[in-house]
Amino acid sequence: MNFVPLLRSELTKLLSVRRWLVALAAMALLTIGFGLLSSAGSSTDANEQASYMVGPSGRAVNDQLYLVHGPVAGDATVTARVVRQRASHPDAQAGLMVRERMASGSRYVSIALTPGHGVRFDSNFGEHVRHAGGDAPQWLRLRRHGPEFRGEASADGRTWREVGHADLPGAGRDLQFGLFVNSPQRLEITRTAGGTGVTGFPTLGRATFAGVRLAPAGAGAVREWRGQDIPPVLPGPSKDPRLAGKDVEAVPPAKRGVSGSSAGAVAATGGSFTLTGSGDIGPAEGPDDSVQASLFGTMFGLMALASVAVLFATSEYKRHLVRTTFAATPRRRPVLAAKAAVLAGTTFALGLVTSVAAYFASRPTIRSSGFTLPAYAPTSIGQPAVLRAIVGNAVLLVAFALLGLGLGVILRRSSAAIALVFALAVVPLFAGAAIPPVSKWLMWLTPAGGFAIERAKPPSAELAEPWSQINPWLGLGIACAYAAVALGGAAWLLERRDA
């Protein structure tokens, strides 16, 4: 049987009931409207109570480490062997660094060993992060050639592999070369009904370096290197209670980083150096996600969409319309497939336009709420993560629409099917926020976890929103799996039941 006539026929059905078109328009308006409300309701004072450094790109960064360094002129190579490293934190670093200045926020290139993630190459706070396998003892090498820097690692000091490379355009002749150690804070997150509390505990990194060499001869002298904390030490620990509502509550980013770094130290014995140090290097933007705030209205728009999706199925049963349908097209699974395709296509198109509109409509509000440089980098629709959130949000709406369609066919009753979609898609969000211990499980077990796709930032346990805890692709996958199971059940029942 030709599938195209079925598609045309189902599309005509979907678009020829005025009430459904009104509901679809309501979905768009609710999504955009609540997105605006959410953007206006979430504000941040991170820029007024700055507790971060500003990096070379003008963004908030952490720049905390203990550095044993000295000036080096022109092209040079520094080599060292990390003999051992304390497992103070999975992201603790012990390695080599070249910096322009000693002040916080200076440009740099680094290669370091970590206890949890092998060898890490980085420049300028996350610009060129590369990872490679490896653990202690590990040879590390950082080579300068003009503005170009290469980070290499070796297990034996003879065979080297490049981990990463980066440029510092316009770097002067004299740069600071050195050994560094740091170790980020350990965070303890307590979830309470409607909020989270984050407490940071400093950890102290410690590593021993041997065989530190600087080439060529005359570039500098390792024995003249001096140890220094970057930045000067503040007392800690910090208590950072976050009284977040269920909507986006912005918090000052990176408070945990600056305070609580403890004084580093160096001990040189023979040719080896043992360094201790605390802190973190990298972007210091908070986990609050302004893109997610723009798309927050989706869960309200979803209710209008779910009713259309469910009715697209149940209206067939209410007055035995399905008999007319199956008399015209007796092969039932293709009919369901056509319904699903038409609903999915319409929902995706409308969902995409709505998401883009919600994103742009809320930008001015987002900016006036304090989500600006340096604390928060501006977002643009061209960024892969933002694009993922917007397109993913349309896909999420498709998943919920298909879930509604499948449940409508299975239950054949509008009220029951709409209630079930609501119970699966939205109730877990509120239940998760109200009952912290189960929130993550709810996101894993229900399609509500799909809202994770609306975030353009990595998952974070620090926020009150339940969906921010799980991986966006995982959450979207769970929602799609629910839709697939509902449609599969519907297809199975359709063939077995009398129409």
Partner 1 sequence: MSPAIELHGVRKTYGRTVAVDDLSFAVRPGEVTGFVGPNGSGKSTTMRVVLGLDRPDAGTALVGGRPYRTLDRPLLELGALLDAGAVHPGRRARDHLRWIAQSQGLATRRVDEVLEQVGLASVARRRAGDLSLGMSQRLGLAAALLGDPPTLMLDEPVNGLDPEGIGWIRDLLRGFAAEGRAVLLSSHLMSELEGMADHLVVIGRGRLIADTTVDELIAGASQAAVEVRTARKAEAMTALARTRGVTVAAVDHDLVTVTGLGGEEVAEVLTAAGVPFSELRRHRASLEAAYMELTRGHGDVTAAPVGAAGPGGDGAA
Determine which residue in the list 328, 373, 381, 481 makes contact with partner 1, applying CB under 8 A: 328
Closest CB to partner 1 among 19 and 239? 19
Query: Can you tell me which of 170, 217, 327, 384 binds partner 1, judged by CB under 8 A?
Result: 327
Rank residues 217 and 327 by Cβ distance to partner 1 and give the closer one: 327
**Site size for partner 1 (CB under 8 A):** 28
Give exposure, 251-284, as e/b (b: 16+ Cβ within 10 Å).
Answer: bbbbbbbbbbbbebbbebeeeebbbbbbbbbbbb
- Mask for 228-267, x = binds partner 1 (CB under 8 A): ----------------------------------------
Among 49, 324, 368, 415, binds partner 1 (CB under 8 A): 324
3-state SS assignment for residue 58: coil
Nearer to partner 1, 219 or 311 (CB): 311
Helix (H) or strand (E) holding 67: strand 65-73
Contact between 1 and partner 1 by CB under 8 A: the answer reads yes
Q: How far is the CB of 319 from partner 1 (least distance, A)?
A: 5
Q: Which is nearer to partner 1, 321 or 493 (CB)?
A: 321
Sheet with 226-230, side-by-side order of all strands? 130-132, 118-123, 108-114, 93-99, 174-182, 65-73, 226-230
Residues 330-349 that bind partner 1 (CB under 8 A): 330-331
Contact 462, 287 (CB under 8 A): yes
Q: How far is the CB of 485 from partner 1 (least distance, A)?
A: 25
* Structure token pair of residue 118: 């092998």
Of residues 123-162, which lie at the interface with partner 1 (CB under 8 A)?
none
- Nearest-CA neighbor of 174 among 70, 71, 98? 71
Q: Are 203 and 186 in contact (CB under 8 A)?
A: yes
Closest separation between CB of residue 22 and partner 1, Å? 10
Nearer to partner 1, 4 or 217 (CB): 4
Q: Which tokens go with 82?
A: 């990390």
Residue 486 CB, nearest approach to partner 1 (Å): 22
Q: Which of 169, 172, 319, 384 binds partner 1 (CB under 8 A)?
A: 319
Nearest to 68 by CA among 260, 274, 214: 274
Count Cβ neighbours within 10 Å for each residue of 434-457 and write b for 16 or more, e otherwise.
eebeebbebbeebbbbbbbbbbbb
User: Of 23-31, 127-135, 315-323, 357-365, which segment contacts partner 1 by CB under 8 A?
Assistant: 315-323
What DSSP character marks residue 250? Answer: -
434's CB contacts (< 8 A; 6+ apart) are 193, 194
Give the interface segment with partner 1, choosing from 50-58, 69-77, 197-205, 322-330 (CB under 8 A): 322-330
User: Shortest gap between Cβ of 499 and partner 1 (angstroms)?
Assistant: 4
Residue from 57, 192, 274, 315 that binds partner 1 (CB under 8 A)? 315
Of 301-309, 319-327, 430-438, 460-468, which segment contacts partner 1 by CB under 8 A? 319-327
CB of 315 to partner 1, least distance (A): 5
Residue from 468, 284, 374, 361 nearest 37 by CA? 361
- DSSP structural state of residue 59: S
Residues 269-298 close enough to bind partner 1 by CB under 8 A: none
* Positions 96 through 115 that interact with partner 1 (CB under 8 A): none
Per-residue contact string for residues 5-34; x = within reach of partner 1 by CB under 8 A:
xx-xxx-xx--xxxxx--------------
Which among 222, 228, 273 has a CA at the least distance from the CA of 71?
222
Shortest reach from residue 256's CB to partner 1, in Å: 57
To which residue do tokens 């021993």 refer?
208
CA atoms within 13 A on the CB side of 475: 30
d(CA 365, CA 360): 10
321 counts as binding partner 1 under rule CB under 8 A = yes
CA distance 389 to 295: 9
The minimum distance between CB 127 and partner 1, in angstroms, equals 55
Residue 455 makes contact with partner 1 by CB under 8 A: no
Report residue 108: phi and psi, to 5°.
Answer: -155, 165
Interface contacts to partner 1, rule CB under 8 A: 1-2, 5-6, 8-10, 12-13, 16-20, 315, 319-321, 323-324, 326-331, 498-499
